[in-house]
Copies of this chain bind each other. A is one copy, B any other.
Amino acid sequence: MPERVYNFSPGPGTLPYEVLQQAAKDVVNFNNIGIGLIEMSHRSKEFIAVTDTAEKLLRELLEIPDNYKVLFLQGGASSQFFMVPMNLLGEGKKAAYLNTGTWSKKSIKEAKLFGEIDVVYSSEDTIFDHVPTGDQYQVSDDAEYLYFVSNNTIYGTQFPEMPKSEKMLVSDMSSDILSRKFDVSKFGLIFAGAQKNMGPAGITIVIIRDDLLDRAGETVPTMLNYKTHADKGSMFNTPPCFGIYIVGEVLKWLKKNGGVEGIEKINREKAALLYNMIDSTDYYRGHAQKESRSMMNVNFNLPTPELEAKFIAEATTVGLNGLKGHRSIGGCRASIYNAFPREGVVKLVEFMKEFEANNPA
């Protein structure tokens, strides 16, 4: 096999090659101190500098206001599905949720354990092929927050703009954080598993507004209270050190490559290349409605499941990997996160043209 293939995996997703190369050195001997990155005390000055750098860069790149804390946690976005309502709701409290795919559905299920959940919009009837516009739902006055998943990995949809609401927003941005500019100050809480746009699996970033840290009740276990981690700079217990390090390196790479504004431009170009290809023929059909199309996950079908299987298999032989759609909806999916190179998208488009020519419906 070649030194490196184009990896369209939906997550864990492709990372910048230079980050992997740097990690290879540091895992064995961090900064030439004679100790590997993953065997270093998390309380050493060297590791504290790693954490500080990662946080500083995230604050800079997302323009996070000072009244927000950044937490490096474990347990994946799936743990945030219950931690958010466990910390922010409680007996008699209410929140509004937008149901736009598998991950919002799962978070609604967990939230119901901790409060009254008002599902103010659902696109489930049309197999989650779109996200709502602001006039399609209403958030009641007594809701604590409006929850939504900014990008739906499985169905390839994305909110073209963040929802507007008088209530604070809470969002699962696992699959599109750092891919485009947005205003953090409209949010009470943002969380994201790192393994798509920021780093490896095993680390979750939480950005939380200061005043929300005191909401958890007495019965919340210490480790599940955001305040525990906020008060100790994510070092209440041993943090996911390797993950924090990789996130820091990815953020250095992102800053060097134009930051969020710079990558957003490239992301729009990459997505346009693929959607233009899809729209230019009836052979490929996109799953998402046009206004809801994701820049991160491009889902499409071929004329038959047999052709889809052949497409995925042949693509793999030319170094285009991971194009199989999620098992719940099938078809093909090209995940083109921040670190996915433009050349790989160009190569996929060429392959799509050739495949169509060689395999008429």
**Contact pattern, A 25-51, Cβ under 8 Å of B = 1, otherwise 0:** 101110011111011111010000000
Which chain B residues lie closer than 8 Å to A236 at the CB level? 78
B20–A36 touching, CB < 8 Å: yes
Beta-carbon contacts under 8 Å, A302-361 to B: 319, 321-322
B24–A82 touching, CB < 8 Å: no
In the assembled complex, how far is the CB of residue A187 from the closest CB belonging to chain B, in whole angstroms? 23
Beta-carbon contacts under 8 Å, A69-98 to B: 74-79, 81-82, 86
A15–B38 touching, CB < 8 Å: yes
Q: A1-B32, A36-B20, A40-B9 are in contact. Are A202 and B110 (CB under 8 A)?
A: no
Among A34, A79, A236, A242, find the residue whose CB has the most chain B CB atoms closer than 10 A. Answer: A242
Complex Cα–Cα for A344 and B1 (A): 41
A76–B237 touching, CB < 8 Å: yes
Chain multiplicity (copies):
2
Which chain B residues lie closer than 8 Å to A34 at the CB level? 1-5, 7, 319, 321
Complex: chain B residue closest to A6, CB-CB: B34
Q: A34-B319, A75-B223, A110-B221 are in contact. Are A39 and B27 (CB under 8 A)?
A: no
Complex: chain B residue closest to A106, CB-CB: B222
Which chain B residues lie closer than 8 Å to A17 at the CB level? 28
**Contact pattern, A 8-19, Cβ under 8 Å of B = 1, otherwise 0:** 011111110100
A263 part of interface (Cβ distance < 8 Å): no
B322–A41 touching, CB < 8 Å: yes
Complex: chain B residue closest to A13, CB-CB: B39
Which chain B residues lie closer than 8 Å to A25 at the CB level? 24
In the assembled complex, how far is the CB of residue A231 from the closest CB belonging to chain B, in whole angstroms? 14
Looking at the complex, which one of B14, B41, B238, B240 makes contact with A39 (CB distance below 8 Å)?
A: B14
Complex Cα–Cα for A76 and B4 (A): 33
Complex Cα–Cα for A14 and B36 (A): 8
Complex: chain B residue closest to A40, CB-CB: B12
Which chain B residues lie closer than 8 Å to A78 at the CB level? 222-223, 236-237
A171 part of interface (Cβ distance < 8 Å): no
Among A27, A109, A201, A243, find the residue whose CB has the most chain B CB atoms closer than 10 A. Answer: A201
Complex Cα–Cα for A41 and B41 (A): 29
Complex Cα–Cα for A361 and B308 (A): 79
Complex Cα–Cα for A34 and B321 (A): 10
Which chain B residues lie closer than 8 Å to A40 at the CB level? 7, 9, 12
Complex Cα–Cα for A11 and B237 (A): 11
Which chain B residues lie closer than 8 Å to A20 at the CB level? 27-28, 36, 38-39
Which chain B residues lie closer than 8 Å to A110 at the CB level? 221-223
A156 part of interface (Cβ distance < 8 Å): no
A157 part of interface (Cβ distance < 8 Å): no
A241–B38 touching, CB < 8 Å: no
In the assembled complex, how far is the CB of residue A323 from the closest CB belonging to chain B, in whole angstroms? 11
A136 part of interface (Cβ distance < 8 Å): no
- Show 25 A/B contacts (Cβ-Cβ < 8 Å), sorted by A: A3-B29, A3-B34, A9-B40, A9-B41, A12-B39, A12-B41, A12-B238, A12-B241, A15-B39, A20-B28, A20-B38, A23-B38, A74-B74, A74-B240, A75-B75, A75-B223, A76-B237, A82-B223, A110-B221, A113-B219, A193-B238, A200-B242, A201-B242, A240-B240, A242-B243
